[in-house]
A = this chain, B = another copy of it.
Amino acid sequence: MSEQGIGELLSTVTADEIREWNRDHKQRGLVDKVTSPKEAVQKYIKDGMYLAIGGFGHIRISMPLIYEMVRQRIGRLRVSGHTAVHDLDVLIAGDCVDAVDVAYSFAYETRGLSKNGRRAVESGRVKCVEWTNAALSWRIKAAAMGLPFLPARNMLGSDTFKYSAARTIECPFTGQKLVALPALMPDVSIIHVHYADRFGNCLVRGTLVKDDDLAKASKRVLVTAERIVPDSFFRDAPERTTIPYFCVDAVIEAPFGSHPGNMPYEYYFDEEHIREYMKAGRDEEQLKAYLEKYVYSVDDFEAYLDLIGMRKLNSLRRLEELR
């Protein structure tokens, strides 16, 4: 008999709904999609949407779009927390988030737990449904494949399963018990990449986390890129395209776009800034002051980088290159 978790499915979709969205809303032709964070958030991100973020929480995250969501006071988001770190934490600080599909959230890995994230959950302000990193990846892969679910062998026998919205099924060939993971089609995803062309073809260097599948699975995909390159970059060696252009709705040029996070091959963490943020997170007032200084009172991401300063940014490049 099928078992099922008691968690709420924060985003539901059938296989035919996936198909019909893609038929009716995704542009196929090669059109120029270059825009700004401000316009992209205004156009594509609404209160109450289900959001997924590329990268790994504090590595290769799209900070221009995260700051812009806070600046535009987007609210009531549901967020996929597959190793969410600084990305989710800033959105929680900006009071943008109602619920999280948690795999790893509210913490900063070796740096410890986030006071801000914990406070939001422990006060009941942010609701949690439990999953795992692989489970969220496979849920996204299901939507990318146009399937209503994928089977897997994780989560079984755990409270993680009990507090999820997964079910169990039997393999039709072997009778083996498996977990069934429902497809996850985010309303919008934001992904930071190394190179993109103006149509939206993207290359990610280093680990991919799940961003190829995420781009295929999402209703809308907003990409920020360290550099915009001519499309010949992709056409000359098409095997290196991580994300094909027709998945992408907006392209934004954003050097240092993962700051204060790490961008593999480009720059390492700004530990000083992350410490400043985490320290502010201990207290609501200090956190407000942090947001006032770095988000609300700056016009855009470039003005934010000016606050950080070129000397610091260059030092992060040297740090990344182990110099």
Interface residues of A, Cβ cutoff 8 Å to B: 2, 14-16, 146-153, 167-169, 171-174, 176, 178, 180, 182, 204-208, 237-240, 242
**CA A135 to CA B243, docked complex, whole Å:** 24
11 A–B contact pairs at CB < 8 A?
A: A15-B153, A147-B151, A147-B178, A148-B176, A149-B171, A149-B172, A168-B172, A169-B169, A205-B239, A206-B238, A240-B240
> With A208-B239, A239-B206 as given contacts, are A15 and B174 in contact (CB-CB < 8 Å)?
yes
Q: Which residue of B lies closest to A151 (CB)?
A: B147
Oligomer copy total: 2
Give every chain B residue within 8 A of A15 (Cβ-Cβ): 153, 171, 174, 176
* Cβ-defined contact, A172 with B14, below 8 A: no
- Taking the closest CB of chain B, its distance from the CB of A111, in whole angstroms, is 26
Q: Residues of B contacting A239 with CB < 8 Å?
A: 204-208, 240, 242
Bound-state CA distance A151–B138 (Å) is 13
Say whether A148 contacts B171, CB under 8 Å. Answer: yes
Across the interface, do B149 and A173 meet the contact criterion of CB distance under 8 Å? yes
Bound-state Cα–Cα, A208 to B204, Å: 18
Nearest residue, chain B, Cβ from A141? B145
Q: Which chain B residues border A146 with CB–CB below 8 Å?
A: 153
Residues of B within 8 A of A151 (CB): 147-151
Closest chain B residue to A265, Cβ basis: B237
Partner of A148, one of B149, B174, B238: B174
Shortest Cβ-Cβ A-B pairs, 4 listed: A148-B171, A172-B180, A167-B172, A169-B172
Residue of B nearest to A208 (CB): B239
Of all chain B residues, the one with the shortest Cβ separation from A9 is B173
Q: How far is the CA of A182 from the CA of B173 in the complex (A)?
A: 7
| Chain B proximity of A157: nearest CB distance (Å) | 16
Contact, CB under 8 Å: B205 / A2: no
Whole-angstrom CA separation of A151 from B149 in the bound complex: 8
Q: Apart from A148-B174, A168-B172, A173-B180, what 17 extra A-B contacts exist at CB < 8 Å? A: A14-B176, A16-B176, A147-B152, A147-B153, A148-B151, A148-B171, A148-B173, A148-B176, A149-B171, A150-B151, A167-B173, A169-B169, A172-B180, A204-B239, A207-B239, A208-B239, A240-B240
Residues of B close to A153: CB separation below 8 A = 15, 146-147
Say yes or no: A174-B14 contact (C-beta < 8 A), given A151-B151, A153-B146.
yes
A205–B241 Cα distance when bound, in Å, is: 11
Cα distance A204–B238 in the bound complex, in angstroms: 11
Evaluate contact between B169 and A2: CB separation under 8 angstroms.
no
- Taken together as a complex, chains A and B put the C-alpha atoms of A174 and B12 apart, in Å, by 10
Chain B residues positioned under 8 Å from A206 (CB to CB): 238-239
A35 to chain B, nearest CB (A): 26
Contact residues in B for A150 (Cβ distance below 8 Å)? 150-151
Residues in B neighbouring A174, C-beta threshold 8 A: 14-15, 148
Given A169-B172, A173-B182, A180-B172, are A205 and B237 neighbors across the interface (CB < 8 Å)? yes
In whole Å, how far is A208's beta carbon from the nearest beta carbon of chain B? 7
Set of chain B residues within 8 Å of A242, measured between Cβ atoms: 239
